[in-house]
């Protein structure tokens, strides 16, 4: 059976607000909400910016970072799997009926190479010596 390495299917995201997709709009709203809440609670703009920097960076990466069609958390999960679980490729098996025929033919050729015998072709139009 043929085994092919594949990645996650690439999906297109629709734009809802200007050039922002829903993921970016939600993360942008969360960034604005963090800034407003910290400003209302602290009252100082400089202190608000300093205190919200970790939240801004996390929401910014989650909203805008994509690599090869994968979002930030999917990329991080893939990196963890590769580092710790040594799972570099996800295998996908096809169910094509022709591959069974191909595999038999390749197995036959491998056996012939191992045994040192050469296959004799007797196709149409060839004459056998009697």
pLDDT digits (tens, 9 = 90+) for 2-14: 565 666 665 666 7
pLDDT single digits (tens) 78-104? 888 777 776 655 555 556 667 777 778
Higher pLDDT, 118 or 63: 63
Percent of the chain at pLDDT > 90 equals 17
Would you list the DSSP string of the chain? --EEE--PPP------BTTB-HHHHHHHHHHHHHHHHHHHHH--HHHHHHHHHHHHHHHHHHHH-EETTEEHHHHHHHHHIIIII-----EEE---HHHHHHHHHHHHHHHHHHHT--PPP--TT-----
Higher pLDDT, 46 or 9: 46
CA 80 – CA 86 distance, rounded (Å): 9
Look up the pTM and report it: 0.50
Q: 């300093």: which residue's tokens?
A: 50
Is the predicted pLDDT of residue 106 greater than 90, yes or no?
no
The stretch 25-52 carries a mean pLDDT of 91
């Amino acid at each position: 059976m043929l085994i092919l390495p594949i990645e996650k299917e690439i999906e297109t995201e629709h734009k809802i607000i200007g050039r922002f997709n829903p993921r970016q709009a939600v993360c942008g709203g969360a960034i604005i909400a963090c800034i407003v809440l910290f400003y209302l609670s602290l009252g100082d703009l400089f202190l608000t910016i300093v205190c919200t920097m970790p939240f801004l960076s996390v929401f910014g990466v989650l909203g805008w970072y994509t690599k090869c069609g994968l979002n930030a958390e999917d990329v991080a999960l893939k990196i963890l799997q590769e580092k710790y679980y040594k799972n570099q490729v996800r295998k996908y098996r096809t169910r094509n009926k022709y591959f069974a025929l191909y595999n038999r033919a390749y197995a036959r050729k491998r056996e012939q190479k191992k045994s040192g015998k050469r296959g004799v072709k007797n196709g149409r139009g060839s004459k056998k010596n009697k």
